[in-house]
Structure 1
Amino acid sequence: MVPVNEPLIMDRDKQLILQCLETGWISSEGPFIKEFEEKFANYIGKKYGVAVSSGTAALEIAVKALGLPEGSEIIVPTFTIISCVQAIVKAGLNPVLVDCDYRTFNMVPEEIERKITKNTKAIMVVHIYGLPVDMTPILDIARKYNLLIIEDAAEVIGQTYKGKLCGSFGDISVFSFYPNKHITTGEGGMILTDDENLYEKCKGYRNLCFSFDPDRRFIHEEIGWNYRMTNLQAALGITQLERIQEHINKKRWMGKKYNELLSDLQDVCYLPIPKTDYAENIYWVYTIVLKDNYPKNAKQIMKELMDKGIGTRPFFYPMHLQPVFQRMGLFKGDTYPNSEKLYEKGFYIPSGLALTEEQISEVSNALHEVLR
């Protein structure tokens, strides 16, 4: 079996985790958490970092920390993971969806401006699959309408837009360290901001809104969550961050190998774009999109690949089609053709950092057999 993802764990990772076990610092109390927050914030280029238990937790805290009035609208792509829209809904706010570009998978800036109303307060930018969102027009729109930017850079840790690291553009930015990300802490996430007030709010929401005054510790002014990261996770984050450039180089090597081996596939609409005028693909995952007239859909091809021992994952199911949101009465009558077709025709193949050249060849051979 070639798994769709396998993280790369080295001796240095094990050494720091063992240090946590030997010292007893295994909970959310421990020196590595602050160190990881500071090092990651410094790497991205933000003043403050708040380490949390997952990327989903980071989104929920970030949205709540903005303190937007109930009913405010946040523009967000429909082609994304449910965590993004879920965070908006759980905060009592209204998600407003936009479609994605069919080649880059990212939200279309021109659609954003058409969706702005007097209730719009923020844009949630989500970088998808390896290429960043085209940020310049979105930042211009945000300035024009005085909107906040929530930047979800979970899938592009180490990626740059016009030479500047993704995650550095948001008023508040979030990251995930799930095992399929460019650095992992097992589970885990991070919130970054330059705003000290937002930073303090995020720290509170992460930790049940305990008072920072020891005499008032169990007196709560607000509702928060237990979304803390452990010292064990932070230790792994520190060692993984030390190797971030190696991981990026490995991802791009992997993308280049796949490009060479799969360029002759006749039934594939297109392979990932190697670069745009603002970024080189970081290949968080390696995507396959079938031609419109190909008689099988992504699910059928994925099943045939699984029968050959090749792990795959489907593309995101669009948010406007999600049953849970339809039952809430959200997105009635919405249609986003690019996102809908991508779910039908798109999937991704093994792309983890532990992938070997032999496995890449095995995946290529299986794809050629299945699509022949």
Structure 2
Amino acid sequence: MVTVSVCMIVKNEEECLGRCLKSLQGIVDEMIVVDTGSTDKTKEIAKECGAKVYDFKWTGDFSEARNYSFSLATCDYIYAADADEELDEENRQRFLKLKEDIEELDIDIVQMYYCNQLSFRTVYNYDRELRPKLFKRVRHFVWEDPIHEQVSLEPVVCNSDIEIIHRPRENHAGRDLASFRKAVDDGRYLSKRLHNMYARELFMGGTDDDFIKAKEFFEKSACDTNRGVDEIKEASCVLAHVAVLEDDAPALLKYSLKDATTEMSSEMCYELGEYYYGKKDYDEAIIWFFNGAYECESILDIKKSKELPRLALAKCYRALGNEEQAADYEREAAECEKGE
């Protein structure tokens, strides 16, 4: 049977760390907890659960801390866990079976289902989706092809049926958005993936102030010729929201037209609806909220094509004195929310 090291980075997780580590006892062969500056009993709890505890001076870069935790592992595979995760008994047994089965296979990465993601409006749009969680510690490269041979570089990835229960205690948007701003201030170039995550984080958990602070970055992004269409549309949605906040009609027109160069997004329709609702032009607002709900698709926040525009339609019809139509849209919104 293969051996597994669990590697974690933590800070002030006394409320949930013990539950996480106890759910892994008897499954993993080594527990490594890297603490980035806890002031509570996190380190004591980790040691009580049998973990090896190391200190790491926080740099603002999660990858640096995660790489350090991985460097300390000694087992065949590394399981990357967060303190607010846990496995129930059914999935503990699935994990043990996986350890038996994987020994005969040359698997580099195992994906597991991450569940309960929609609690506290996390940056993810779906409640259950696969994530890479188990990694082979030492990868052996092999040559392939009978002629013009080359080293196989693509990792071998398999999907498991293991479900990890995510129990967040709070929304981490404020922390994550601060990390995005620091990366930008440090001159780091945000990849396409991080560009998308920054925009999504803003829409799902950002405050008005967070949007205003992100304005300069996304203005540069919207006119960056190295950015693709998807990134320009994401930047345009963020900047349209800022334009609504600042009551800047020319900017709203500019960025809505950028989004409209391809099929308009639900997010942009929603921002246009909000602008006209703020002007008490309810008939025009209804057109855009309707388009967001029924004619377009979301690119960042799925709720902008589901319950949110329907609730917005309800408030428009209520403002027009049409209580019956408002109630119908509120019922639809409730159905959308249940469907997610």
The TM-score, its normalising length taken from structure 2, stands at 0.26
Which one scores higher on RCO, CA 8 angstroms, separation ≥ 6?
1
The TM-score, its normalising length taken from structure 1, stands at 0.24
Tell me which structure has the larger Cα radius of gyration: 2
The answer to which structure has the higher helix fraction is 2
